[in-house]
Structure 1
Amino acid sequence: MEEIVYLCLFAFMAGFIDSVVGGGGLIQVPALLVFLPGVPLPTVFGTGKFAGIAGTTAAMVKYVRSVRINYLAILPAAAAAFVCSFLGARALSHLDASLLKPLILVLLALVAVYTFIRKDFGSLHAPKLTESKERLYGLLIGAA
């Protein structure tokens, strides 16, 4: 029961941070790894992804109401992200958890440091690509 209380507290903090500046997964994934030590990694990541999907969907609904979206670029990127996320989750289930946990924590720390250093990341939108290149880059970024 104690773990659930802590997980709820960290989920609240992650949701709050995500709504203000983004990056709530930097809080939630380590919390899930710490408080669910016996749970298989694919289940831990699926739990984190489910929460991320819920938060991103809520943000997207609000965003779509106020900004024009280029669906010709976004939909292929979303499809690539969905397919490659599924493939990544399948690959994760075949890897050794004792190697992955430290690697994941190091990667999360590096992303946190980068996010902290680059405070202005994403604040300036200056489109520079043609429509076809935008679609191609969207596919590549979605796949990554």
Structure 2
Amino acid sequence: MYRILEIAYQKFFIKRVFKRYRNSLPTKTNLSNPKMDYHILADAVVWEDEGIGECHPDLENAFRYVLNYRTNLISKEFFKNEQNLSRRTFELAKKYFPDWIGFHRDRCPYSPELSERILRIRNVAEWKIDKLMNKDI
């Protein structure tokens, strides 16, 4: 049942959003060294020149799966269900946004350096969330 809902969500929401905003994300950058940041809702990293923060909220929401899958490719962290919705959404996004800067060769393959950096970023984000949630009001 979960798989059916997952496929329906992808076909009726994500695909529709990708079609609507096709090729609306940046394909080039003017920045020589764009800053990497953490997207807390996607549990993923995103570079400042990728346009995720500036795009329509529906597109950002649909792209969470793409960002998460890409982050896991970079850090070689795969989980049991990783081959499902995230992978399919990543491939679907490549169809609708083939020239998006986030799909460039230097931003998708495994990188030991980036993997270590991602681990540190996730640890800091987790610490900040724990601190916020346990803060006395």
Normalised by the size of structure 1, how large is the TM-score?
0.28
Structure with a larger share of its residues in strand: 2
Larger radius of gyration: 1
As a proportion of its length, which structure holds more helix? 1
TM-score scaled by length of structure 2: 0.29
